[in-house]
Structures are given as structure tokens and as C-alpha cells.
Structure 1
């Protein structure tokens, strides 16, 4: 039990560290104002509940003595003067006020939730993309241990965190205020009882405390294993969803490979983990529900049974018999908040762990951005000085290599698979954090085209302009460039929105990426097997188009074609002129 409680305390500390930035941000006054209003409205509801218990006492006392006038007045009049007790609001008045406060408490809580979620989403997306954290996370030794499915953490976990934190937080504060609002009432109306010669004043209060403490301890004992199970369920659900997305994004490759059987087996196996873990949650929840539901149902009748002896002894009237269980229920419910909220706390704890781990991983990933070879910018040449590149596990791909490329050259880099050609391009681009040495990059714009180009969701025109703004791209220029690379049949689809990574063949995708390079007119163009999906004749034609449209661009290509005036081979950690 101590370990689980420690886990919860750690969760509260982590949860506060996640929540604190928003309440110290530029939106802090709005945030604190809304939070204070929501809490205030909930406290007003607590006050109304106190009034309702006294209204209930007066109402049933009037019924007991057959006072029809007082009963009707309490039901329908806005303000009632009870003899010897002063004014009492009518039920209709209480209901109207209660409904208005309850509705706006929920509305303003939802307003705060969406504002908070929006702020956190913007900042998490920014931190994820800043300093290439999204990329460096993928280079971690064991990313699945800490940062699986960042998309789910940003979309689903942030939503759950803001919603559950507000719900649990306001509910906790309301219960604390409820406890202190009703505890003195219960003590005052409980009277006293004598047991074994000892008189216990306000005994119903001590019964409520004892009942709640026993219930809380047993609830925690039964439900403690739900914390790791809930955390694991979120992870397994996200993994299953990710595999479904992979099938959706690669239908042609799977269909051509007739991989349906393998994919079905993989999806079924992934869901099997989801199902098995959920069964474990079900079994543990069943045991917890057996206790909590029994505890709640017994709590409805328990105070009545305890107070009946005073009623039969005519120490209290029917109103008191009605009021005491209500007040007892409020005190016992406040004391038993942990019991009723246990399942939500478990879910919240799992969400906090995922978000906290994600934030820590992003910070670690951003720190990697400062590593790797030193980048400098000088002159019009590309110079590698004493460059060493390694993999995350420390294996060397390039060992103290030096090279100078001058503008205007057409350079081909070749070498065996896995030798580090693509990693060399990543280092030149400044995104590879593992290595030493220096890279002096030329002034001007450098553009890198990978073997499998990226296509954002949107219009074809947007994909041609990416990462620049599509509004700056003239339609005539876009049409002419498409025709030049053999994609003239797409010219009338510039404003069509589609998933172009799926709509186009591999060869069309590579030609569209090359068209993007022609439109960008970079000073240096780095091609990583950028024509590998084209046949030799089409590849030669496209390269000729590049040379025609980009006469001032220095082109460095990873390729096995020998159509360059300078060939370099990367093998066994060295860069040398190809023979």
C-alpha cells in the first residue's frame, strides 16, 4: 500500500509540474479567473446543499404534525418564515438558483478546459517540432519504453489530462468544503450516546469518520493494481491503432505483396494484448466494484439504522430523522472521496505518467540537437573537416574523413548499402546528432530530397510548393514544371485535395519531388536515390531536365549511375574518389 500511495504522491507532483506552466503563462489571469469562478460556483452549490438539509428538516417536521399550510408554503413560496427559526427559502426558489449555478459551473469549467487544452496542445506541438525533437526521439535507444505514439499523447492524453484534472480538482475542493460545511452540522444534530459508561458527543460524526476510513483502506487495497494496468492499456491501445494506420497508409505495398494474412495476424496479435490487459482490468474492477457499490449502498441505510434508536426514544422528530442521514451522507461522502474517485484517479495517474514521460523525452531529444559535428557557414564550398559519424549505438560509419566540394560540380556518391551515405546527407543537413568534426556549408539554399519523399495532406499545388507557401506558386509555372518531369496529366488537378503519397505511384512521387526542387531553385541540391523508382531512360530524362532548369545548382546525388563529373565512394568509414 505504501508503494502505491507513494506512486500517487509522485503522480500529484508530476501532474502539478504539467499544469503549472499554463497557470503562469500569458493566459494566467484568464485561467485563474475561470478556475476561481468555477470553484466559487461549486462552493455555492455546497452552501445550497446545507440549506436543503435544513429545508428538508422543516418540511418533514411539518408533515409529521400535518401542517398543510407550512408544507405548501415550503414547496411553492419564494421565502418562508419558520416560527422560531427565521426565514427559509422555498423549494422552487432553491431549485431555480441551484440549476443556474450548476449549469454555469459546468459551462465555465468546459471553457477553462478547452482553453487549457489549446494552450498545452500548441506548446507540446511546438516543443515536439522544435530542435527536431520529433526526429531525435526516433533515434533514442529504446523509444518504445518512454515515447510510444506521441500523436496519442498530444491529442488524447492532453484532452484527458485537462478534463480529469479539472474534474478531480474541483471535485476534491468541493468535497473538502462540503466536509467542513457539514461536519459541524452533523456534530450538532447527532446528540450523544453512552457506551460502556462513556458518553460520546456527536457520535454520528465519529461513526462517519470510522466508516470512511475503513472503506478507503479497503478500496486502496483492492484497486491498487489498476494503476499499472491502466497505464499499460493506454499504451497497448495506441500500439494497436498505430498498426491500423500503417495498413491504411500502405495499402498498395501490402496488396502487391499479398500481405493480408501477415497483416491480419499482426493486427490480431496486437489486439490480443489489448484484450488480455483489458480482461485483467475487468477482473480487478469487478472486485473493486463489489466492494465500492456495496459500500455505497450500505451507506444509504447505515446512518438511518444508527439514528433510529434516538427516534424511537422520541429524542428527535421525523425531520431530524430525515436530516441526519442527509448530513451523514454528505460528511461520509466527502470523507470517502478517494473511494468514489479511485477509478478516475487511476486513469489520471496513467495519463500524467505518459505526458510527463513524453515531456522528459522531448527535453532529452532537444538536447541531442546540440550534439554532432560542428556546423559553420562560409564561402561557396562544402567542406568536411575530420568528420566522424556514428550510429546511436556508437558504431562508426565515417572515420575522420575530409572532403571539399566546389560549386557547379555534378557529384555522385556511391557505396554499399548501410555504409552511411544517407547519414552523411543527414549530417550535412545538420540533423544528425552523433559524430564529431566540422562541416562548413556553403551560403545559399540547400535542399535535400530523400528516396521516399514526404507529401503533406492538401492540394497538389501545396505539395509542389512544400515547404513554401502554395499561394506564392504561379499556376502557369507549376503546370510547366509538371509537364517537364512527365507529370503533365496532373496539371488539371492542382487544386485537388488528396493523400498524394497514396494516390501516386512510387515513380510519380519521385518526379513530383523533383518538380518541387525545380520550383525551389536551390543553390545546392542533394538527392538520396531520388530516381530509384524510375527506369534508366526516364531517370536519365529527369536528370537532364534538372540540369536544364537548374544550371546554377550544384547537385550531389547518392546514386549508382555514373552520370557525373565527379564520383566519390563511401566504404569502410572512408571517402575516396571512385575508380
Structure 2
């Protein structure tokens, strides 16, 4: 090493070049060679990637030119979507971007449509996934439905507070510099004046800080409210709440998506807006402020500081992006496991009695522990990933940026001359030191604010990854809800076996799924099925074709072995299962009332249990009073419950308060209250004594309601006129009940 230095000194003396220039040049040369050695493989890899992208672009362009229409025009969006559909058919991950309400605005709607088309075409040419951007566009459309909405007002106020805080930070930094300057000068008067100003500015500064957090919370709440309203409208439209869990298998835990996922997405979305908007504004204002301060000092290389900060910032962003783990995927998987753990707890609460009877607590405990271990493993995986990423992030942001900040502060001071217009001729050195101290303090505070802004901006990349995970879950929920609303059901794992299971020749398939081609016609006074197959949500064909008619003067009894399709037929009649073929003619839903074996007990009063799903206001409009409800309960032998529970307005958990037989009689009381044309009774009195059961059935018949009953009790045959027998192998027969059969 000594030899090298001595040779450099000889070279310096021989050519008359200052020695420090020679040493600097040597260092730069060594550093350049090292960079070439390290960077050449990366540059080569990047050039190869660009070459591959260019070849792919040529192939895409050639394929598009080959698909030109007769008039020479090319449908770019159709080509892009066709390729996306082909990728989905080949088993790739489904993209959830087809959702959202229609736009009525004649200006924004075309702009949004053009933007989405451009993104699809960009994805088609480059292969870069743009699902997150499209999902965010459509989710923002739900969260901010109009320019003049309350959400827009909150967003504008929040933006205004962020801008105010930026300029206030610069002003406070200047004040602190002046305070330090007068401390160095020992100027008590000006020090007191500046300190008073600083304290007065602290009041609006603290208010704006609090206001930013308040408006961010308000914005998150407003976003959540819009999303929840839109989700609830979809969830309770066309009985989606039933279909999404029983007919479609894409959403594992809709309750978790409706609550936690929407809440977390709204909070992250509002916070990310603050984390991106304010740092960008801070960095812009700080760069101009530093250049202005450098000019004021008369220093050279005034633009070097902001330029150096920009280079370091972009380099840090590139390194962190290259090293960034897939936080979006990790967080989405964590949310999925949280939802599954919650669903296990809900199952235990819902089925606690059955679990206690069977003594199945050990099995349930093992399931809970296994689910929690899987969640803990995922959380631990995220923490381990964050450990090394945050270490790298802190090294770059804390130490590299601190060194850059020192250089930025030093350049104007070391290369410039501070103007001494206000210098004290008796003590110029003191004034010069105070000015430099003011500059150093102000620049230090501004650079700290800039470093904080840049750190938040780079950290927002990680938050954007997490937001992508939550946005995908919310977008998936909305996409599934809207598709289920339109009668499009998908059950993962069932599509491949659908064709082999379906033995109905008239069924039509698309993408491996049977198409819902059946028709529902609303009529009055009768129920008719024409060539309707009974197919389960798993595409098991229970009955290939069923044709029957039930008039209002008929009472149909349905029997057959277990699993032959009795309850499935009720679900088709009630309209909760799709009709894949044929036609069903049925009255409106108000004229068909279904009573299951375990009636649902809602939250509310005892009165609400009888009139469910009507409200008290609807009951009053029907002209009914509590005395009428008392007569209904008397017919089903439940009038003692009113006295026992403390009156009609008593509130309780009726699922636990009423016994099994009382709940079944409450279900029949609802039939007497609603007076439908047809009552679908599915083993609904199995826990009721035979004598009380007979009185209830007779009361329903006397009311003029046609009975369609599934039962294994021979005592109920006498209340029916026709018999439908399922044979268990897909066959069936329907006959009129004969007197000999009724007497059984």
C-alpha cells in the first residue's frame, strides 16, 4: 500500500497535479471497476429482459394484426380479454375485476372505461398484472360515488390539512433556526420574541396534526360505510346470503369478508393516501427550500444537494423493491387463516349442544389448536420476513440518508460565502457564526422532515403490497356476490366432475360447468314443474327429470328413502336452488312458506318470533293485533309461553329459551299468521305429539292452505290427497291417495 501511495506522489510531482486530485482519481477508478464487475451481470440480465419483452411485443403485435376485421380495424380489448380468459381456463389464478355499480356520469364513465381498456391492453402486451390497479379504480368508484359527495369533501379537507402541515413545518424549521441564532448572539430580546412566535405557532401546528388523524379516521369510516352498504345490498339481494355459502364455494368465510376485510381495507386505503400525498408534497417543497437557502448563502453547486437526495432516494427505492417480500400475498393468507379460525369458533357456539351431547370437545379443541397453529405459523413467517427487510430498510434510511444529509448541509457552507449585510463591525466573527448556526439548524430540521417524508413514502410501498392483498379479498367478495346475483355459481373442484356426474342429456355445459337454463314463471293458485332435474350444488343428479302439478285444492305427501331428493325438491320449489333445465310455474314467494325441521328463531321479542319475517309495522298494516296472535298461539298450544316469558315484548335468546317441540310449533304458528297458498312442511312436527300435530294440520287445512309435506309419520297421511314417492335411484311416481292408504 505504501508503494502505491509513493508512486502516486511521484506521478503528482512529475505532472504537476495536486496530490489530492491523484488520490481522488485513483479511488474513483477503483470504485468504477468494482461497480462494473458487480453491475455487468445485472446490466446483461436487464438487456436480455428488454430483448425478451421486445420479441414478445412483436409476437403480440403480429397476432393482433392477424385478427383484424374486414374493415381493417382491430379490437384490442377483445384480444386482451380473450387471452385472459384462456389463461383462466388453463387453471391460472382468477382475476376479480368484474364488479362495481354502473356509472351515470357522462364525463367520468368514458374516462374510466378508457383507462381500464388501456390497462388491459398494457397487460396484454407486457404480461404485467394490472388487477390491483383495476380493482382499486372500481373500489374507489364505490367509496367515492360522486364528485360532490361527502367523501369528496372529507378527502378535500384532508388534503388541505396535509398541505397546511407541510408549509407549517418549513415555517417552524425557520423559526427554530432563528431561535438558535439569537442564542449564539446572546440577544435576549430577539430570542424572547422568536420563542414567543414559536410557541404561538405550536397551537395551530398541534391542531393540524390532530386534524389530520381525525380526518384520516373519518375518511376510513366513510369508505367503510360505502363499502358496507354496497356489500349488504348485494348480500341480501336475490338471496345471495344463501347461495354464496351453499351454491358457490369461492368464499370460505363471507362473514369475515363483510366485517374484518372491509374494515382493514378501508383503514389501509385512507392511511396510504396520507402516506403518499404528504411525503410527495414535503419532498417537493423541501427541495425548493434547500435550493433557495443555498442561493442565499451564495454557495456553489446549489442543485447538487437535491440531486444527490433524489439519486439516493431512487436507489433506496430500487433496492427495497428488489428485496421486498410478497407482503400482499402473506397478509392475504393471514386474513384467510384468521377468518377460518373465527368460523371454527362460530361453529362451536352454534352447535354447542350437539358437541356437548356427543362429548366432542377434544375433536373441536384439536381443530381450534391446529387452526391457531397455522395462523401463528403465518404470523411468524411474516415477522421473520419483516426482521431482515426492516433491518435493510433502517440501514438505508437511517444511516445512508443521514450521511447524505450531512453532505447536503455541508456543500453550501463549505463552498459559499455568507453575506454579512447585518454584520456587527465590532464583532463580525460572532455574527458569521450565528448565521451559519441558523442555517445549520434550519437545514437540519428541514432534512429531518424530508428524511421522514421519504421514509414514509418508501414504507408506503410495503403498505401498498398489503393493501393489494386486502383489495383482492374485497374485490373477490364483490365479484362473487354480483355473479351469484346473476345466477353464476362456481364450486372449485366440482367443475371437473360435473360432466361425469350429470346424467341429464339436455344439460348444456360452459367452461366445464352446467348452465342454468331453467325458467321460472310466476303464476297464481297452482304449482307446476315441467321436466325439471333435481341437481345438488355439487352437481349430483338426484332426479333426472320431474314433472308434477299441485293445485290449490290438493295436498301432496312426499315420501322416500334418505337422500332421494325430498328436501332438494323443496329447495327448488322455494327458489333457493337453481333450475338447470325445464320450467317451474309457481306463485310468488309470499304465497309459499317453508317450515324446516329446525325453525330459525330471530333476535327480538316474542311477538317477532310469531310474525317473522314481518315487522310490527307490517303486522299493524295487516290489521292484526296481539289478540290475534294469541289466538294463533292457542291453535298450536303455545299460549302458555306468553305468560311464562313475561308478555309479547319479552326479549331473549329464543333459540335456547324454547324447547325443540315449542320451536316446531312456533314454525307452524308462522304458517297460520302468513296464510300462504302453499305450505312446504319438511319434517316440521317430528318433535310434536301426534294429537297436537293433528290439530295443527287440521287448522292449516281449514285456513285454505295447500299442504306439501315431507314426513315419515303415517298419522299425517289422512290430511293429504296425493302421494309422491321417490324410489331412490332417480325414479319417482305420483298417485292419488286411496282410502285404504289414508287409513294407515
Q: State the match for 2:289 in structure 1.
A: 185
1:568 lines up with 2:672 in the alignment: no
1:151 lines up with 2:270 in the alignment: no
CA contact (8 A) 1:211 1:332 kept: no
Q: State the match for 1:80 in structure 2.
A: none
CA contact (8 A) 1:208 1:332 kept: no
188, 194, 213: which is aligned to 1:68? 188
Q: State the match for 1:18 in structure 2.
A: 139
| Matches of 2:443 and 2:354, distance apart in 1 | 70
The alpha-carbon distance between structure 1 residues 529 and 465, as it changes in their structure 2 partners (threshold 3 A), is: same
1:430-469 equivalences under 5 Å are 430-442=575-587, 445-469=591-615
| Matches of 1:347 and 1:233, distance apart in 2 | 11
1:420 lines up with 2:565 in the alignment: yes
| Matches of 1:203 and 1:140, distance apart in 2 | 64
Report deviation, 1:298.
2.2
- Secondary structure in 1 aligned to 2:486? helix
| Matches of 1:372 and 1:488, distance apart in 2 | 47
Q: State the match for 1:401 in structure 2.
A: 546
Larger Rg: 2
- Secondary structure in 2 aligned to 1:560? coil
The alpha-carbon distance between structure 1 residues 249 and 391, as it changes in their structure 2 partners (threshold 3 A), is: closer
Report deviation, 1:141.
5.5
| Matches of 2:128 and 2:685, distance apart in 1 | 54
| Matches of 2:394 and 2:694, distance apart in 1 | 73
The answer for unaligned runs of 5 or more in structure 1 is 77-89, 193-198
1:334-483 equivalences under 5 Å are 334-368=453-487, 371=516, 373-442=518-587, 445-471=591-617, 472=619, 474-483=625-634
The alpha-carbon distance between structure 1 residues 555 and 549, as it changes in their structure 2 partners (threshold 3 A), is: closer
Normalising by the residue count of structure 2, what TM-score does the alignment of the two structures yield?
A: 0.69
Report deviation, 1:308.
4.7
| Matches of 1:315 and 1:419, distance apart in 2 | 97
CA contact (8 A) 1:8 1:349 kept: no
The alpha-carbon distance between structure 1 residues 118 and 310, as it changes in their structure 2 partners (threshold 3 A), is: closer
- Secondary structure in 2 aligned to 1:189? helix
1:503 lines up with 2:629 in the alignment: no
Q: Deviations over 1:482-518 (max 9, x none)?
A: 3432334422323232222233333332221112212
CA contact (8 A) 1:212 1:336 kept: no
Report deviation, 1:241.
0.9
The alpha-carbon distance between structure 1 residues 108 and 338, as it changes in their structure 2 partners (threshold 3 A), is: closer
Report deviation, 1:139.
3.8
| Matches of 1:30 and 1:159, distance apart in 2 | 19
1:289 lines up with 2:390 in the alignment: yes
Q: State the match for 2:229 in structure 1.
A: 122
147, 154, 157: which is aligned to 1:34? 154
Q: State the match for 1:172 in structure 2.
A: 276
The alpha-carbon distance between structure 1 residues 380 and 453, as it changes in their structure 2 partners (threshold 3 A), is: same
53, 57, 64: which is aligned to 2:177? 57
Report deviation, 1:154.
1.7
190, 201, 207: which is aligned to 1:94? 201
Normalising by the residue count of structure 1, what TM-score does the alignment of the two structures yield?
A: 0.87
| Matches of 1:292 and 1:7, distance apart in 2 | 26
CA contact (8 A) 1:411 1:556 kept: yes
- Secondary structure in 2 aligned to 1:436? coil
CA contact (8 A) 2:401 2:451 kept: no
1:523 lines up with 2:643 in the alignment: no
Q: State the match for 1:240 in structure 2.
A: 341
| Matches of 2:216 and 2:405, distance apart in 1 | 36
| Matches of 2:712 and 2:518, distance apart in 1 | 27
- Secondary structure in 2 aligned to 1:297? helix
Moved more, 387-396 or 257-266: 387-396
Report deviation, 1:303.
4.3
Q: State the match for 2:114 in structure 1.
A: none
Report deviation, 1:527.
0.6
Q: Deviations over 1:167-224 (max 9, x none)?
A: 21133111221121111222343579xxxxxx85432223322332233233334432
Q: Deviations over 1:135-161 (max 9, x none)?
A: 222244532xxx222222222222222
Report deviation, 1:467.
0.5
Q: State the match for 2:370 in structure 1.
A: 269
1:175-324 equivalences under 5 Å are 175-190=279-294, 200-298=301-399, 301-303=402-404, 305-306=406-407, 307-308=409-410, 317-324=436-443
Moved more, 34-43 or 405-414: 405-414
Q: State the match for 2:22 in structure 1.
A: none
Q: State the match for 2:698 in structure 1.
A: 547
The answer for unaligned runs of 5 or more in structure 2 is 1-45, 50-125, 419-435, 489-514, 736-740
